[in-house]
Structure formats: structure tokens, C-alpha cells
Amino acid sequence: MSTVDSKLAMGLQTPCYVYDLDLLDETLRRIRNELNKHANYHQHYAIKANTDPTVLRHIAAAGFGADCVSGGEIRAALAAGFAPSEISFAGVGKADWEIRLAIESDIECFNVESIAELEVINSIAQQMNATARVCFRINPDVGAHTHANITTGLAENKFGIAREDMQKVVRLAGEMSNVKCIGLHFHIGSQILDMTDFRELCQRVNELQDELDAAGIPTMSIINVGGGLGVDYDDPDDHPYADFTAFYDTIAQTLKLREGQQLITELGRAVVAQMGSLVTKVLYVKQGSVKQFVIVDAGMTDLIRPALYGARHRIENLGAEDTTESGDISARGTATYDVVGPICESSDVFATGITLPVAKRGDYIRICSAGAYGQTMASQYNTRPLPNVVCRQNN
Ligand code: LLP
């Protein structure tokens, strides 16, 4: 049973993200179970997926590290209690102040994406009389079967250092005074459900490690294979947990770690997507010339995924205060709707042609799987206030 049934939605000030912390805790427990099968596996939560302070504190308290992509995320991770020694800092465009903050905070490592960036990190570390630990993000040129906007591991993508330049950058780092190269980093994309993609990534990492061995480059202590594990957006209540077993088993069966190497994963979406719902209210039901629209008070400003990626999120009509008293919403019959928001953009559409119980002004609508890349991608376009957040925990 979801934590956002019709009764629990009553009285919420909408639009509102509702986070189910019991589901989050159970998700974290399942990830921990998988990690515990291997002495040298670690998970750094990709905090870009959800940086709500309560959510971050739960994940930090469960002993995970953090993958950050900005100075703001490093600050949020530190404030939530993530250990600096478990924080990595990625991103193609790190600003000088962000590099300084990371060095001052003594985080575990930078995931470096270019020679130009390596030189800047070395020079800032020198000014600060420090040594910056770096992993190189190598573009593995491995495709992921997911949306084009969220693949990152192809040669044509902007991310990472070309694989043919790997040895050059590792040697270059060895000659620099204030950086220490400690590992390799990879990430092929997001919302990946086909384990073959992760298998191919691990095979590519094996090839790259063989190349480094053959070149006489000493073994590095960290192999970071990134995140990307997908979740079930179609049927979240029946499948609230991603297949962590398949993910970690695929890595363990394919990746050949060297003696003493630590493995890091950077799951984001799979940690937080299913614990979150965006609860919104029907403002108007409008009959257009060819379609019937349910106009809700949440918009693409609160969940941009459908507009930006054509993403599908399950949508439920939970009914209104009076329907719960007067009986079952299913007694109303159903109708076909486009569910749209109030923003002045034609792409402000959550779903088209879906069947829902007949909608009325005041009904609560639940947009499922909104825990990842919902709140963190929200904007104030149209000068809208940001939605409320309600965290629920029973256990
Ligand atoms: N590591 C790196 C280097 C990444 O770039 C990302 C996500 C992750 C880890 C976490 O990936 P996850 O486990 O969450 O798939 N806004 C998009 C997703 C963008 C992902 C960006 N990078 C969406 O809503 O689908």
C-alpha cells in the first residue's frame, strides 16, 4: 500500500512532494545487503537525484558516500553528515571556487574530465599547499539503451577523457607536483534496465586495466563504475525497489578488480525515485475540441521529466475530500484525459490519453516515482513558488 492513498493526501497543500522514508530506508537496506557480499564495494549516492536535507541525512546515516557535481552539492553533503573521505566531486566544468572548496574539505577525490581541468586542479592545490586526489573519468565508448539525453558514455558525448588518451593523462598526473592519481571513473547513462549495458562497461574497464598493466602503470586503488540503474516507472507500487541484486551481481561476475582495489557505484535514481510522489490537485476539467484535459496545480516546473525527456510517470486519481467520505472513487467510472499543468508552455504535459477515474475539481492526483530528479530540477518559471515537501515515516 502506498503512503499516498486518498486519506493521506487529504489536507496536503498542493503541489507537494511526499517522501516515504520507510521505503527509502528499505531501499538503503537492500543496497547495503548487496554491498555486504563484497568487502571492497562502496556506494556513493549521486545526490543530484534528490538533495532534500531529510533525505540526505537518512542516506548519510546509513553509511553511504556522496557523488557531488557542484560546490553546492558538496556543501549539502557535508551539512547532511556525509564523511568528507566518502565524497567524490565530478562534472565537466568545475569552477575555481568549487575546486578550492573540495580541497579545503579534504574530500576523497575529484573525478577529472580533461587535461585542462587537471592542470587547474594541480595549480590551485599548489597555491593551497595541498595534494588533490584524482580519478580520471574515461569515456568508455559504451552505449546505454536509454533516452538519448541521458546517455553519457559514447565517444560523441561531452563527458570524460577519450580512452585513447588514458595513458597520457595518467602519466601526466604522475609528473605533476600537487595531484595524486588514485583511480578510474566511468558512467554510461541513466535509467538503464538492461544489465548487458553494465556488463559491456565492466568488460571495457577490464580491457582498459589490461592496457595500463601492459604499459607498466601501477594499479590504481579505485574503480568507479558510476550509476544508472533504472526503476519501474510503469508499475512503481508493485516494483518499488530496483534490481540491486542483478546490478551488483553483473558487476561482480564481470569486473576483474585487482588486488586491493575498491569498487564505487554512484546510484542516484534507484535510491530515491520510488519513495517520492508529487501530489497535486485538479483545478479544472476542460473539454477541448478533440481532447479532455485535466488541469492540475503542479506543472513542468515541479517535475520536468515528461516535458524534457518524454518520460512517463504513473498517474493516479486519489479522489477528493468528499468522495472518500461518500465512497469509492471507482464508482465514478473512467474517462480518457491529457493531464496538464498551468505553465504557459505547450510542453507542460504530464501524460496524454490516459484513463483515470472521472476527474473533478478538487481531486488529489498522485504522480508517482517523483523522488528522483523532481525537486532537484524544479524551477520558479512563471514566478511560481517551489512546492512543499512532506516526509512520512511510520516505522
Ligand atoms: N554518476 C554520474 C557521473 C552521473 O552523471 C549520474 C547522473 C549519476 C552517477 C547518477 O545516475 P542515476 O543512478 O541517477 O541514473 N535528469 C535525468 C537524469 C540525469 C542523470 C545525470 N547523471 C532524468 O531525470 O532522467
- DSSP readout, 216-252? TPPPPSEEE----B---SSSTTT--S--HHHHHHHHH
Residue of the nearest CA to atom 5 in ligand 1?
Answer: 187
Nearest ligand 1 atom to alpha carbon 191: 15
Lowest mean pLDDT segment, chosen from 106-115, 151-160, 313-322: 151-160
Ligand 1 neighbour 266 (Cβ under 6 A): yes
User: Cis before residue 15, ω within 30 degrees of 0?
Assistant: yes
Instruction: Tell whether ligand 1 has an atom less than 6 A from the beta carbon of residue 198.
Output: no
Q: Is 166 in the pocket of ligand 1 (CB under 6 A)?
A: no
pLDDT bin (cut points 50, 70, 90) of residue 22 is: very high
Region label for 246, one of left (φ > 0), alpha (ψ between -120 and 50) or beta (otherwise): alpha
At residue 124 the predicted structure's pLDDT band, cuts being 50, 70 and 90, is very high
* Closest C-alpha among 394, 393, 392 to residue 11: 392
**Which residue, judged by its Cα, is nearest atom 16 of ligand 1?**
373
Is any atom of ligand 1 closer than 6 Å to the C-beta of 24?
Answer: no
Quick: pLDDT tens for 181-200: 999 999 999 999 999 999 99
More confident position, 321 or 40? 40
Question: What is the percent of the chain where pLDDT is above 90?
Answer: 88
Q: Tell me, what's the pLDDT at 1? A: 43
Quote the mean pLDDT of the chain: 94
In DSSP notation, 79-143 reads HHT--GGGEEE--S---HHHHHHHHHTT-SEEEE--HHHHHHHHHHHHHTT--EEEEEEEE----
CA of 372 to the centre of ligand 1 (A): 9
**Pocket flag, ligand 1, residue 146 (CB < 6 Å):** no
Q: Which of 251, 230, 250, 249 is nearest to 241 (CA)?
A: 230
Give yes or no for residue 371 CB within 6 A of ligand 1: no
**What pLDDT digit, counting tens, does each position of 304-356 carry?**
999 999 999 999 999 987 655 445 787 899 999 999 999 999 999 999 999 99
From 67, 269, 302, the mutation candidate for ligand 1 (largest count of ligand atoms within 8 A of CB) is: 269
List the residue whose alpha carbon is closest to atom 19 of ligand 1.
150
Compute how many other C-beta atoms are within 10 angstroms of the C-beta atom of residue 149.
12
Q: Which letter, b or e, does each residue of 180-215 get, where b requires 16 or more Cβ atoms within 10 Å of its Cβ?
A: ebbbbbbbbbbbbbebebbbbbbebbeebbeebeee
Instruction: Tell whether the torsion through CA atoms of 58, 45, 384 and 292 is positive or negative.
Output: negative
Average pLDDT over residues 271-291: 97
Instruction: Tell me the C-alpha to C-alpha distance, in Å, between residue 114 and each of 158, 251, 274, 281, 313.
Output: 10, 26, 35, 47, 36
Return the best residue to mutate from 48, 185, 265 for the ligand 1 pocket (most ligand atoms within 8 A of CB).
Answer: 48
Quickly tell me which residue has 565537466 as its cell: 92
pLDDT for the residue numbered 317: 95
Q: Which atom of ligand 1 is nearest to the CA of 90?
A: 3
Dihedral sign from CA coordinates of 105, 106, 107, 111: positive
Average pLDDT over residues 198-214: 97
Angstrom distance (rounded) from CA 352 to CA 71? 38
DSSP state of 310: -
pLDDT-based confidence at residue 29 (cuts at 50, 70, 90):
very high
**Residue 151 pLDDT class (50, 70, 90 cuts):** low
Atom of ligand 1 nearest to the CA of 227: 13
Q: Which atom of ligand 1 is nearest to the CA of 305?
A: 24
Give the distance (Å) from ligand 1 centre to CA of residue 174. Answer: 30
Tell whether ligand 1 has an atom less than 6 A from the beta carbon of residue 264: no
- Cβ atoms within 10 Å, residue 287: 8
Choosing from 69, 135, 266 the residue with most ligand 1 atoms within 8 A of its CB, the one to mutate for a pocket test is: 266
**Does pLDDT of 150 surpass 60?**
no
Nearest residue to 226 via CA among 207, 198, 196 = 198
| 132 pLDDT above the threshold of 50 | yes
Lowest average pLDDT, out of 40-54, 62-76, 257-271, 313-327, goes to 313-327
The atom number, within ligand 1, closest to the CA of 373 reads: 24
From residue 11, alpha-carbon distances to 14, 304, 321, 367 in Å are 9, 25, 8, 17
* Predicted model pTM: 0.95
> From the CA of 371, how far away is ligand 1's center (Å)?
13
Residue 263 DSSP label: E
Give distance in angstroms: CA of 203 to centre of ligand 1: 21
Q: What is the 3-state secondary structure (H, E, C) of 311-353?
A: CCCCEEEEECHHHHHHCCHHHHCEEEEEEECCCCCCCCEEEEE
Q: How far is residue 131's CA from residue 180's CA, in Å, rounded to a whole number?
A: 7
Does the CB atom of residue 228 touch ligand 1 within 6 A?
A: yes
- 54: helix, coil or strand? helix
Q: Is the CB of 187 under 6 A from ligand 1?
A: yes
